[in-house]
Protein backbone atom coordinates (compact mmCIF):
# COMPACT_ATOMS: atom_id res chain seq x y z
CA UNK A 1 0.00 0.00 0.00
CA UNK A 2 1.37 3.38 -0.99
CA UNK A 3 2.53 5.79 1.67
CA UNK A 4 0.81 9.15 1.38
CA UNK A 5 2.48 10.94 4.29
CA UNK A 6 5.93 9.96 5.45
CA UNK A 7 6.98 11.50 8.76
CA UNK A 8 10.67 11.19 9.56
CA UNK A 9 12.04 12.10 12.97
CA UNK A 10 9.82 15.12 13.17
CA UNK A 11 10.17 17.42 16.19
CA UNK A 12 8.20 20.49 17.04
CA UNK A 13 9.02 23.29 19.48
CA UNK A 14 6.95 26.12 20.91
CA UNK A 15 9.84 28.32 21.96
CA UNK A 16 11.83 26.22 24.43
CA UNK A 17 9.03 23.72 24.89
CA UNK A 18 9.27 20.59 22.79
CA UNK A 19 5.77 19.38 21.91
CA UNK A 20 6.70 16.61 19.44
CA UNK A 21 9.71 14.34 19.88
CA UNK A 22 11.15 12.35 17.01
CA UNK A 23 7.85 11.37 15.47
CA UNK A 24 8.34 8.78 12.75
CA UNK A 25 5.42 7.15 10.99
CA UNK A 26 4.05 6.35 7.58
CA UNK A 27 0.44 7.18 6.82
CA UNK A 28 -1.00 5.11 3.97
CA UNK A 29 -3.24 6.57 1.31
CA UNK A 30 -6.98 5.79 1.21
CA UNK A 31 -7.07 4.55 4.77
CA UNK A 32 -8.37 6.15 7.91
CA UNK A 33 -5.61 6.78 10.42
CA UNK A 34 -6.55 7.77 13.96
CA UNK A 35 -4.28 9.54 16.43
CA UNK A 36 -5.20 8.59 19.96
CA UNK A 37 -3.66 9.99 23.10
CA UNK A 38 -4.28 12.03 26.25
CA UNK A 39 -4.98 15.74 26.15
CA UNK A 40 -1.79 17.71 25.56
CA UNK A 41 0.19 14.87 24.00
CA UNK A 42 0.53 16.73 20.70
CA UNK A 43 -2.23 15.43 18.42
CA UNK A 44 -3.32 18.88 17.27
CA UNK A 45 0.26 20.09 16.92
CA UNK A 46 0.98 17.11 14.70
CA UNK A 47 -2.10 17.58 12.54
CA UNK A 48 -1.39 21.27 12.13
CA UNK A 49 2.16 20.44 11.09
CA UNK A 50 0.78 18.52 8.12
CA UNK A 51 -0.30 21.64 6.29
CA UNK A 52 2.01 24.06 8.08
CA UNK A 53 -0.72 25.78 10.00
CA UNK A 54 1.72 26.09 12.90
CA UNK A 55 3.92 28.40 10.82
CA UNK A 56 2.01 31.41 12.02
CA UNK A 57 2.63 30.75 15.71
CA UNK A 58 5.38 32.97 17.05
CA UNK A 59 8.40 31.00 18.24
CA UNK A 60 7.14 27.76 16.71
CA UNK A 61 9.89 25.66 15.13
CA UNK A 62 9.71 22.40 13.20
CA UNK A 63 12.78 20.14 12.96
CA UNK A 64 12.74 17.07 10.74
CA UNK A 65 10.92 16.06 7.61
CA UNK A 66 7.36 15.43 6.55
CA UNK A 67 6.97 14.12 3.01
CA UNK A 68 3.62 14.21 1.28
CA UNK A 69 3.58 12.35 -2.03
CA UNK A 70 7.34 12.23 -1.71
CA UNK A 71 7.73 15.99 -1.40
CA UNK A 72 9.15 17.56 1.76
CA UNK A 73 6.54 20.08 2.86
CA UNK A 74 9.10 21.98 4.95
CA UNK A 75 11.26 22.64 1.92
CA UNK A 76 11.52 26.45 1.67
CA UNK A 77 10.54 26.25 -2.00
CA UNK A 78 7.13 24.78 -1.13
CA UNK A 79 4.13 26.92 -2.02
CA UNK A 80 2.28 26.92 1.30
CA UNK A 81 -0.99 28.07 -0.24
CA UNK A 82 -0.88 25.15 -2.64
CA UNK A 83 -0.02 22.78 0.23
CA UNK A 84 -3.02 23.96 2.26
CA UNK A 85 -5.22 23.55 -0.79
CA UNK A 86 -4.20 19.89 -0.90
CA UNK A 87 -4.14 19.16 2.82
CA UNK A 88 -7.44 20.24 4.32
CA UNK A 89 -8.59 20.15 7.89
CA UNK A 90 -12.10 19.78 9.26
CA UNK A 91 -12.43 21.32 12.69
CA UNK A 92 -14.37 20.02 15.64
CA UNK A 93 -16.25 23.29 15.75
CA UNK A 94 -17.22 25.11 12.57
CA UNK A 95 -15.42 28.38 11.90
CA UNK A 96 -17.52 30.32 9.41
CA UNK A 97 -16.07 33.52 7.96
CA UNK A 98 -17.83 36.76 8.93
CA UNK A 99 -19.75 36.78 5.66
CA UNK A 100 -23.05 35.54 4.36
CA UNK A 101 -23.99 31.88 4.30
CA UNK A 102 -23.75 31.98 0.51
CA UNK A 103 -20.25 33.43 0.51
CA UNK A 104 -19.05 30.87 3.04
CA UNK A 105 -20.28 27.95 0.96
CA UNK A 106 -18.98 29.59 -2.22
CA UNK A 107 -15.60 30.44 -0.71
CA UNK A 108 -13.55 27.45 -1.88
CA UNK A 109 -14.75 27.25 -5.48
CA UNK A 110 -14.64 31.05 -5.85
CA UNK A 111 -11.12 31.49 -4.45
CA UNK A 112 -9.83 28.66 -6.61
CA UNK A 113 -11.54 30.14 -9.65
CA UNK A 114 -13.32 26.90 -10.43
CA UNK A 115 -16.52 28.40 -11.77
CA UNK A 116 -16.95 30.22 -15.06
CA UNK A 117 -19.51 32.71 -13.82
CA UNK A 118 -21.79 33.72 -10.98
CA UNK A 119 -24.58 31.45 -12.22
CA UNK A 120 -22.34 28.39 -12.07
CA UNK A 121 -21.20 29.35 -8.60
CA UNK A 122 -24.79 29.75 -7.39
CA UNK A 123 -25.64 26.35 -8.87
CA UNK A 124 -22.66 24.79 -7.09
CA UNK A 125 -23.73 26.33 -3.78
CA UNK A 126 -27.26 24.98 -4.21
CA UNK A 127 -25.99 21.54 -5.24
CA UNK A 128 -23.67 21.39 -2.22
CA UNK A 129 -26.39 22.36 0.21
CA UNK A 130 -28.78 19.80 -1.32
CA UNK A 131 -26.07 17.13 -1.02
CA UNK A 132 -25.73 17.70 2.71
CA UNK A 133 -29.47 18.01 3.27
CA UNK A 134 -29.47 21.68 4.25
CA UNK A 135 -30.95 23.35 1.20
CA UNK A 136 -34.63 23.40 2.22
CA UNK A 137 -33.74 24.64 5.65
CA UNK A 138 -31.37 27.36 4.60
CA UNK A 139 -32.28 28.46 1.08
CA UNK A 140 -34.09 31.59 2.29
CA UNK A 141 -31.27 32.59 4.61
CA UNK A 142 -28.36 32.55 2.17
CA UNK A 143 -27.80 36.28 2.43
CA UNK A 144 -27.81 36.24 6.22
CA UNK A 145 -24.61 36.15 8.31
CA UNK A 146 -23.15 32.65 8.65
CA UNK A 147 -21.90 33.37 12.14
CA UNK A 148 -25.48 33.85 13.33
CA UNK A 149 -26.17 30.18 12.68
CA UNK A 150 -26.11 27.90 15.67
CA UNK A 151 -23.39 25.30 15.15
CA UNK A 152 -25.20 22.89 17.45
CA UNK A 153 -28.42 22.91 15.47
CA UNK A 154 -29.01 20.77 12.43
CA UNK A 155 -28.42 23.76 10.19
CA UNK A 156 -25.37 25.89 10.03
CA UNK A 157 -22.61 23.40 10.23
CA UNK A 158 -19.83 25.22 8.42
CA UNK A 159 -17.79 22.06 8.34
CA UNK A 160 -20.29 20.79 5.80
CA UNK A 161 -19.32 23.37 3.23
CA UNK A 162 -18.03 21.64 0.11
CA UNK A 163 -14.35 20.89 0.40
CA UNK A 164 -12.61 20.20 -1.79
CA UNK A 165 -14.92 21.97 -4.19
CA UNK A 166 -15.51 19.83 -7.23
CA UNK A 167 -13.51 21.24 -10.13
CA UNK A 168 -15.63 22.27 -13.08
CA UNK A 169 -13.62 24.83 -14.94
CA UNK A 170 -10.47 26.75 -14.45
CA UNK A 171 -11.30 30.41 -14.52
CA UNK A 172 -13.42 32.82 -12.63
CA UNK A 173 -14.63 35.81 -14.52
CA UNK A 174 -17.51 37.58 -12.87
CA UNK A 175 -18.14 38.44 -9.25
CA UNK A 176 -20.30 36.24 -7.05
CA UNK A 177 -23.99 36.97 -7.31
CA UNK A 178 -24.38 37.97 -3.71
CA UNK A 179 -20.97 39.29 -2.87
CA UNK A 180 -20.68 43.02 -2.72
CA UNK A 181 -16.93 42.59 -2.65
CA UNK A 182 -14.84 39.75 -3.91
CA UNK A 183 -12.41 38.52 -2.88
CA UNK A 184 -13.39 39.31 0.70
CA UNK A 185 -11.07 41.86 2.25
CA UNK A 186 -8.10 40.35 3.99
CA UNK A 187 -8.20 37.13 2.02
CA UNK A 188 -5.29 36.26 -0.20
CA UNK A 189 -6.42 33.77 -2.76
N1 LIG B 1 0.54 27.80 20.70
C2 LIG B 1 1.17 27.10 21.67
N3 LIG B 1 2.16 27.66 22.38
C4 LIG B 1 2.81 26.97 23.35
N5 LIG B 1 2.53 25.69 23.67
C6 LIG B 1 1.54 25.08 23.01
C7 LIG B 1 0.81 25.75 21.98
N8 LIG B 1 -0.12 24.89 21.49
C9 LIG B 1 0.04 23.75 22.18
N10 LIG B 1 1.02 23.85 23.09
C11 LIG B 1 1.49 22.81 24.02
O12 LIG B 1 1.94 21.70 23.25
C13 LIG B 1 1.52 20.48 23.83
C14 LIG B 1 0.70 19.69 22.83
O15 LIG B 1 -0.54 20.36 22.64
P16 LIG B 1 -1.61 19.89 21.58
O17 LIG B 1 -0.93 19.60 20.29
O18 LIG B 1 -2.71 20.88 21.59
O19 LIG B 1 -2.09 18.50 22.24
P20 LIG B 1 -3.42 17.65 22.00
O21 LIG B 1 -4.07 18.12 20.74
O22 LIG B 1 -2.96 16.23 21.95
O23 LIG B 1 -4.30 17.89 23.20
C24 LIG B 1 0.77 20.84 25.11
O25 LIG B 1 1.68 20.76 26.19
C26 LIG B 1 0.34 22.27 24.86
O27 LIG B 1 0.24 22.98 26.07
MG1 LIG C 1 -6.06 18.79 20.37
Report the CATH number at residue 84. 3.40.50.300
Q: Residues enclosing ligand 1, CB less than 6 A?
A: 14, 17, 19, 37, 39-45, 57
Per-residue pLDDT tens for 21-56? Answer: 999 999 999 999 999 999 999 999 999 999 999 999
14 to 40, 57, 111, 120, 152: CA distances (angstroms): 13, 8, 32, 44, 32
User: For atom 1 of ligand 1, which residue has the closest CA?
Assistant: 57
Nearest atom (ligand 1) to Cα of 47: 17
Domain membership of residue 86 as a residue range: 3-91
Task: Tell the burial category of 114 from Cβ atoms under 10 Å away from its Cβ (0-12, 13-18, 19+).
Answer: buried
The most confident of the ranges 25-29, 93-97, 117-121 is 25-29
Number of domains in the chain: 2
Amino acid 29: pLDDT = 97
Is 105 in the same domain as 79?
A: no
pLDDT-wise least confident of 23-27, 132-136, 151-155, 163-167: 163-167
- Give dist(CA 18, CA 148) in Å, integer: 38
Q: At what angle do helices 118-131 and 101-111 cross, to 10 degrees?
A: 110
Question: Could you tell me the distance, in angstroms and rounded to a whole number, from the CA of residue 57 to the centre of ligand 1?
Answer: 11
Do the Cβ atoms of 74 and 61 come closer than 8 Å? no
117 to 110, 113, 161, 177: CA distances (angstroms): 9, 9, 19, 9
Backbone torsions φ then ψ of 96, nearest 5 degrees: -65, 150
Has residue 175 been placed in a domain? no
Strand order in the sheet with 17-28: 17-28, 3-14, 60-68, 71-72
Has residue 145 been placed in a domain? yes
Is 114 in the same domain as 80?
A: no
> What's the predicted TM-score (pTM) here?
0.72
Helix (H, G, I), strand (E, B) or coil at 89: coil
- Position with higher pLDDT, 108 vs 179: 108
Amino acid sequence: MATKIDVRRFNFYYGDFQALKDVTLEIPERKITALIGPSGCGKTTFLRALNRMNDRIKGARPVGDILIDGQNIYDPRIDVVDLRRRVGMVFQRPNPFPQSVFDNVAFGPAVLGLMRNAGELAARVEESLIEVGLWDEIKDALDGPAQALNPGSSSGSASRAPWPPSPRSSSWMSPARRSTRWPPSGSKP
